[in-house]
């Protein structure tokens, strides 16, 4: 790891800053970010840079922003900046109560219920704000575990958990391996084994955290598995944190089953159950930083609420969303249409991959596919995976995410995002993949180009010509991408 | 095995203190000119509500500059997607220029050294995470903002060691007080990582003098520690002396080449007080140390500023005509309001610390105490909350080492309400003076801070379970 250029002698300087500030636990120096750098240095643009790197490492939902824009045009009073809405400006600008605007909490609770098809109801009094799911997850760790305690997490898992759950909290993460032979489903045996191992090493396990729907798998957890997890945590008297940030991205059967439904169907100590949510994926609004901690444990709600002072949602945003999310007709239409578009995009992409015999894990949710490139590996090693990955970035010019960055135990799997681009770009990406695979297979010729259609322009309306790498290190901002940089105004 | 973490079950968030009784009582019985004219007037809330009309009229003249109109294109999508922890360039540029303007452009700030955070609450906590290990300490002059107990200590494990300031020299920081605090930390086996000051001061309402600033900079230079200057009230300086930022001291020849020293001075800022927008959660850390900027930027992931808000404010703060006018008009109004409070209290025989900034006065009610103790201060405070109907903040909640001082806010209410508050205190003061002259004075005790704490906890467990619903979060006091 390269040391950053610091003023004064390194040791002296380090002594003045905390360990947290100077260690690598934020995870942003990992090799993984090479792909990001490649993208940042040479970003694809349909007309301005058609040979650039296509960003497929970013789990953003850009398919349904137009629906929201439409709503905003029709509901100008929801913004405190418009003539229709400015009369609320003072009240909203002044509101910093960590309980949040009541109408915001009510609207979010309702939305969460709708995203679960009405099969679970949420109590607005339990809604606690966090600085995005990033802040919400960290906050929960601060409430549930002491430094040195551990949480079990099924692998492969979202890379940023390493930072969000561990960095400032001092909590350990113990991955529980899931195998492709089980379709990456977590098994009770694997959990028990991980728990035992921890106990033997004198590590205190405080809980289990899962992403459901899963990032990077794009799958939802089935009822039986969920039930067995609930019974596992009850047995061990440990916490169960369900990050359900992709709940409304489920685009085909089977239906999403939330832990909130399961606990209605079985005996469970509710004090152990906590849900993390956000609007960043379901609604495609990561910029608005709406994170939610929803706990069934009263003490956790109380404590978390006090902690939420460190990452409240801007009252301007609360006000806007309170209005938007209480528009039942809009919400229902949005959830439906968004799913439809995700399904279509997923189908187009996976069928395109099938044409060159690339399989994906069977998925029904999320903004990505878990792609199986094991047949293309030189050998079943992570070195080979990294080699293949570099090839894909540098030659095929697609920034995809290698399974190792998700702590996958088997080499050869890649996460590919498909919801952060327009239709035309998808076709370009598929074309490049087809060409690459065929070349690898030795056919030597590129697959025939599909006829390009005049789709709407690239989603990137503007982007800055220069990169901003203030900190001078290789780490791009994958965990906080600047992919839609706005040109600085004077 | 305990189910929750130590942090979740301890009291370090500070919100169980009896101080919040006042808030609770206010919530139960809030003053309203029409509906509840005998209710409790909220004077414990350091909000700036005097200049919303200026913001509203800017909005009226610049309707929805954001979402829909840039070269005719909707930029909603880009905004909704923008989550770069480096922040919106336009916003940061506008913000640093605004900060410079407040300092009369005597200093300039580099947007690359600015880190956006979810309010100053988050900025202060983040700086602790960056500069200190659990168990290490920062020195803070007393009295200080009660929220620091939560913001600096709770999740970070950092300790606060007070630098005792006294009314004998208007609560100014002295060299001996600094040294004493440093020694006190050493005795407690606490490694001191830095000093944190609020300038202008909450609760004093004063700006740090040149002497104090020089003293602080030379102290941290000598001890090789950090200095954090929380300048959240910098735009509220309404009379002389002019605000002098610690950055101006560093610009002096003596320090200008001392890069290591520069790297140890950090500023915290926010728009919650100067612009009166606490709900928007706009805070910032400014540091010359690359590593601090880098680490803090990554940490800001846990509390980014909403892109929607960044965009609105970038438009607003880029309007230089607006900001110039706002800053000066806002200061005028604050000055007027402060003068009203001061003269009103004076006519009640109550004096205030001479101040030139902030949204509050530091009021001297020592002569109304039945004895020179914190018990008596609490007694007086309860009377003022329950009988007089004013929620003001007792000095003990700000860790003041002398009983009898109270922080009284003046910018979060209408002028009429302030008039009423002044009338109430006048009536009360007259009554109190009359009755105490009939009693013999008790002997003055030097009551230690520790005995107050015990007392405070006894009170808060006095059968009253803090009702979470009623307790407003205390983001600002």
Across chain B, what does the average pLDDT equal? 89
Distance of CA B177 to the CA centre of its chain: 21
Q: What is the pLDDT of residue B435?
A: 75
Asked if pLDDT for residue B33 goes beyond 60, the answer is yes
What whole-number percentage of chain B has pLDDT above 70? 87
Residue of chain A with shortest Cα separation from B192: A16
pLDDT tens, position by position, B239-260: 999 999 999 999 988 888 899 9
User: Is A271 close to B3, i.e. CB distance below 8 A?
Assistant: yes
Query: ipTM of this model?
Result: 0.87
What average pLDDT does this structure show over B386-413? 96
Active site residue A245: yes
Measured between CA atoms, how close is A61 to chain B, in angstroms? Answer: 9
Q: Which of B442, B119, B44, B118 is nearest to B270 (CA)?
A: B119
User: Is B259 close to A7, i.e. CB distance below 8 A?
Assistant: yes
pLDDT tens, position by position, B358-373: 999 999 999 999 999 9
Best mutation target, A7, A8, A11, A18, to test chain B (most B CBs within 10 A): A18
Which neighbouring-strand residues pair with A277?
A292
Q: Are strands A273-278 and A290-295 parallel, antiparallel or unpaired?
A: antiparallel
A window 62-81, beta carbon within 8 A of B: 62, 65-66, 68-69, 72-73, 76, 79-81
B193, B273, B286, B384: which is the annotated catalytic residue?
A: B273
Listed range (A72-76, B115-119, B168-172) with the worst mean pLDDT: A72-76
Q: What is the pLDDT of residue B425?
A: 95
Residues of chain A in contact with residue B312, where contact means CB-CB under 8 angstroms, are 81, 316
User: Is A287 close to B6, i.e. CB distance below 8 A?
Assistant: no
User: Is A472 close to B118, i.e. CB distance below 8 A?
Assistant: no
Q: What is the pLDDT of residue A434?
A: 93
Asked if pLDDT for residue B103 goes beyond 80, the answer is yes
Q: Is B133 on the interface with A (CB under 8 A)?
A: yes
Q: Report how far residue B393's alpha carbon sits from residue B321's, in angstroms, rounded to the nearest whole number.
A: 37
A32, A157, A158, A246: which is the annotated catalytic residue?
A: A158
Going residue by residue through chain A (490 aa), what tens digit of pLDDT does each one get? 333 333 434 444 567 899 999 888 888 877 666 777 888 899 999 999 999 999 999 999 999 999 999 998 899 889 988 888 889 999 999 999 999 999 999 999 999 999 999 999 999 999 999 999 999 999 999 999 999 999 999 999 999 999 999 999 999 999 999 999 999 999 999 999 999 999 999 999 999 999 999 999 999 999 999 999 999 999 999 999 999 999 999 999 999 999 999 999 999 999 999 999 999 999 999 999 999 999 999 999 999 999 999 999 999 999 999 999 999 999 999 999 999 999 999 999 999 999 999 999 999 999 999 999 999 999 999 999 999 999 999 999 999 999 999 999 999 999 999 999 999 999 999 999 999 998 887 754 445 555 444 443 333 333 333 332 222 222 333 333 333 333 333 2
Confidence band, pLDDT 50/70/90 cuts, at residue B456: very low
Asked if pLDDT for residue B443 goes beyond 80, the answer is no
Q: Report how far residue A184's alpha carbon sits from residue A200's, in angstroms, rounded to the nearest whole number.
A: 26
Q: Report how far residue B374's alpha carbon sits from residue B403's, in angstroms, rounded to the nearest whole number.
A: 5
Provide the 3-class DSSP secondary structure of residue B393. Answer: strand
A243, A246, A358, A433: which is the annotated catalytic residue?
A: A243
Q: Is B75 on the interface with A (CB under 8 A)?
A: yes
A window 35-64, beta carbon within 8 A of B: 60, 62
Query: How many helices (H) and strands (E) in chain B?
Result: 18, 13
Residue of chain A with shortest Cα separation from B126: A310
Q: Is A260 on the interface with B (CB under 8 A)?
A: no
Query: What pTM, to 2 d.p., does this model score?
Result: 0.89
DSSP string for residues in A18-83:
-HHHHSSTT-TTSGGGHHHHHHHHSB-BTTTBTTSBEE-S-----TTHHHHHHHHHH-GGGSTTST
Q: What are the φ and ψ backbone dihedral angles of B76, each rounded to 5 degrees?
A: -55, -45
Asked if pLDDT for residue B27 goes beyond 50, the answer is yes
Q: What is the pLDDT of residue A32?
A: 63
User: Is A62 close to B81, i.e. CB distance below 8 A?
Assistant: yes
Tokens of A445: 């010729």
């Amino acid at each position: 790891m390269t040391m950053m250029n610091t003023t004064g002698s390194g040791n002296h300087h380090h002594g003045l800053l905390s360990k947290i500030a100077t260690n690598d636990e934020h995870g942003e120096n990992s090799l993984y970010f090479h792909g990001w750098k490649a993208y940042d240095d040479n970003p694809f643009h349909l007309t301005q840079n058609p040979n650039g790197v296509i960003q497929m490492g970013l789990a953003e939902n850009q398919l349904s922003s137009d629906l929201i824009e439409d709503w905003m045009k029709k509901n100008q009073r929801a913004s405190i900046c418009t003539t229709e809405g400015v009369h609320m400006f003072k009240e909203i600008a002044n509101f910093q109560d960590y309980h949040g605007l009541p109408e915001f909490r009510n609207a979010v609770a309702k939305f969460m219920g709708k995203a679960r098809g009405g099969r679970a109801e949420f109590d607005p009094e339990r809604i606690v704000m966090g600085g995005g799911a990033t802040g919400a997850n960290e906050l929960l760790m601060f409430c549930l575990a002491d430094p040195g305690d551990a949480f079990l997490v099924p692998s492969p898992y979202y890379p940023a958990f390493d930072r969000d759950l561990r960095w400032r909290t001092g909590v350990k993460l113990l991955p529980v391996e899931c195998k492709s032979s089980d379709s990456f489903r977590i098994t009770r045996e694997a959990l028990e084994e991980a728990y035992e191992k921890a106990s033997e090493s004198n590590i205190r396990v405080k809980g289990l955290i899962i992403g459901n729907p899963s990032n990077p798998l794009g799958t939802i957890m089935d009822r039986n598995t969920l039930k067995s997890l609930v019974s596992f945590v009850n047995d061990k008297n440990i916490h169960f944190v369900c990050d359900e940030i992709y709940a409304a991205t489920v685009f085909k059967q089977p239906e999403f089953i939330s832990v909130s439904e399961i606990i209605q169907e079985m005996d469970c100590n509710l004090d152990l159950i906590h849900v993390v949510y956000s609007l960043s994926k379901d609604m495609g609004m990561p910029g608005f930083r709406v994170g939610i901690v929803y706990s069934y444990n009263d003490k956790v709600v109380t404590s978390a609420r006090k902690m939420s002072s460190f990452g409240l949602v801007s009252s301007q945003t609360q006000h806007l969303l309170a209005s938007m999310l209480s528009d039942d007709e809009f919400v229902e239409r949005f959830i439906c249409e968004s799913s439809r578009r995700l399904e279509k995009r997923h189908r187009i992409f996976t069928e395109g991959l099938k044409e060159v015999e690339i399989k994906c894990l069977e998925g029904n949710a999320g903004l990505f596919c878990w792609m199986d490139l094991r047949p293309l590996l030189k050998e079943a090693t992570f070195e080979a995976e990294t080699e293949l990955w570099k090839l894909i970035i540098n030659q095929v010019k697609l920034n995809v995410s290698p399974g190792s960055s998700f702590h996958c135990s088997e080499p050869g799997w890649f996460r590919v995002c498909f919801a952060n681009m327009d239709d035309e770009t998808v076709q370009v990406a598929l074309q490049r993949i087809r060409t690459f695979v065929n070349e690898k297979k030795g056919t030597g010729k590129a697959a025939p180009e599909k006829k390009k259609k005049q789709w709407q322009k690239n989603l990137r309306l503007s982007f800055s010509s220069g990169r901003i790498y203030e900190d001078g290190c290789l780490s791009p901002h994958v965990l906080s991408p600047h992919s839609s940089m706005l040109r600085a105004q004077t | 095995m305990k189910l929750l973490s130590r942090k979740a079950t301890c009291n370090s968030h500070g919100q169980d203190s009896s101080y919040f009784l006042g808030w609770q009582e206010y919530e139960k019985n809030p003053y309203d000119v029409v509906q509840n004219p005998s209710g409790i007037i909220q004077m414990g809330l350091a909000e700036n509500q005097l200049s919303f009309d200026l913001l509203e009229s800017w909005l009226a003249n610049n309707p929805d500059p954001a979402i829909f109109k840039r070269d005719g294109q909707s930029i909603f999508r880009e905004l909704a997607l923008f989550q770069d922890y480096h922040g919106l360039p336009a916003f940061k540029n506008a913000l640093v220029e605004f900060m410079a303007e407040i300092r009369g452009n005597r200093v300039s700030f580099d947007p690359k050294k600015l880190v956006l955070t979810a309010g100053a609450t988050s900025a202060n906590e983040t700086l602790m995470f960056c500069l200190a290990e659990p168990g290490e300490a920062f020195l803070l002059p007393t009295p200080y903002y009660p929220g620091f107990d939560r913001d600096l200590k709770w999740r970070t494990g950092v300790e606060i060691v007070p630098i005792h300031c006294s009314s004998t020299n208007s609560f100014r920081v002295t060299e001996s007080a600094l040294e004493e605090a440093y020694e006190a930390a050493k005795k407690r086996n606490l490694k001191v990582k830095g000093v944190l000051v609020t300038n202008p001061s909450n609760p004093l309402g004063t700006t740090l003098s040149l002497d104090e600033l020089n003293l602080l900079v030379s102290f941290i230079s000598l001890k090789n520690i950090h200095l954090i200057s929380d300048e959240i009230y910098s735009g509220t300086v309404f009379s002389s002396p002019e605000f002098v930022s610690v950055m101006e001291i560093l610009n002096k020849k003596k320090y200008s080449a001392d890069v290591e020293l520069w790297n140890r001075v950090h500023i915290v800022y926010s728009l919650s007080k100067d612009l009166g927008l606490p709900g928007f959660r706009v805070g910032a850390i400014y540091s010359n140390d690359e590593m601090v900027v880098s680490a803090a930027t990554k940490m800001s992931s846990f509390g980014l500023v909403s892109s929607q808000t960044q965009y609105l404010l970038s438009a607003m703060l880029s309007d230089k005509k607006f900001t110039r006018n706002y800053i000066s008009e806002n200061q005028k109004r604050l000055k007027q309001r402060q003068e009203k409070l001061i003269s009103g209290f004076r006519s009640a025989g109550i004096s205030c610390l001479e101040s030139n900034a902030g949204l509050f006065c530091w009021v001297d009610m020592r002569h109304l105490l039945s004895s020179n103790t914190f018990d008596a201060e609490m007694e007086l405070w309860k009377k003022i909350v329950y009988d007089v109907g004013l929620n003001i903040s007792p000095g003990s909640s700000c860790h003041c080492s002398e009983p009898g001082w109270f922080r009284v806010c003046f910018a979060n209410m209408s002028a009429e309400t302030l008039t009423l508050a002044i009338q109430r205190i006048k009536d009360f003061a007259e009554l109190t003076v009359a009755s105490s002259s009939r009693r013999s004075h008790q002997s003055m005790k030097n009551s230690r801070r520790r005995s107050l704490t015990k007392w405070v906890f006894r009170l808060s467990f006095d059968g009253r379970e803090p009702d979470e619903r009623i307790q407003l979060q205390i983001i600002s006091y």
